[in-house]
Amino acid sequence: MKVILLEDIKGVGKKDQIINANDGYAKNFLFPKNLAVEATKGNMTQLDRKKKNEEEKRQQELDDAKELAKQIAEKKVTLSVKTGDNGKLFGAVTNKEIGAALKEQAGIDIDKKKIVVKEAIKTIGEKEVDIKLHPKVTAKLKVNIVEA
């Protein structure tokens, strides 16, 4: 019997996957626990519609991320920090500080976990950091570090 899984089932399949299940397994286990529905024409159409809506939503998220990446690439944030001899910082500039400066100066609120600082920023000058907006979209932000 062909069934559509409504949840991930270990050893059987993933959610929204169509599988062949034994009649007894489907009728006595999957259906009573609402883990699957029979793969009728109506249920298949509903599954196709659901997958299409999810794909449109993913595409919209990708488009939004690309638009935000363009906005971020045009921006430049300035951080003023305490420095010691030879323009070296006390400590380092963190992604939290960069996120706060981006929100304050450009009005763009980004989660600090999405900001990737490749090397610790420990000197004054202009640096570039990556911001992972989407698995396929990474924006580059210019950060200018100046002496306070």
What tens digit of pLDDT does each residue of 62-114 get? Answer: 999 999 999 999 989 999 888 887 778 888 888 999 999 999 998 989 999 99
Asked whether the predicted pLDDT for residue 40 surpasses 90, the reply is yes
For 86, the token pair is: 């030879």
Q: Are residues 53 and 90 in the same domain?
A: no
Across-strand partners of 132? 138
Q: Are residues 43 and 68 in the same domain?
A: no
Residue 4 amino acid letter:
I
Q: Which of 38, 62, 86 is the last residue of a domain?
A: 62
Q: Are residues 71 and 132 in the same domain?
A: yes
**Torsion, Cα of 135, 141, 145, 148 (10° steps):** -100
Domain range for 75: 64-147
Q: Are residues 141 and 123 in the same domain?
A: yes
Q: Are residues 58 and 100 in the same domain?
A: no
Confidence (pLDDT) at 8: 95
Q: Are residues 72 and 137 in the same domain?
A: yes
* CA separation for the pair 132, 137 (Å, rounded): 6
Nearest to 18 by CA among 1, 42, 32: 1
Q: Are residues 18 and 39 in the same domain?
A: yes
Q: Which of 62, 84, 109 is the last residue of a domain?
A: 62
- Rounded to two decimals, the pTM is 0.73
Confidence (pLDDT) at 148: 81
Q: Are residues 52 and 69 in the same domain?
A: no
Counting the structural domains of the chain, the total is 2
Confidence (pLDDT) at 84: 81
Residue 148: Cβ-neighbour burial (10 angstroms; 0-12, 13-18, 19+): exposed
For 148, the token pair is: 């306070």
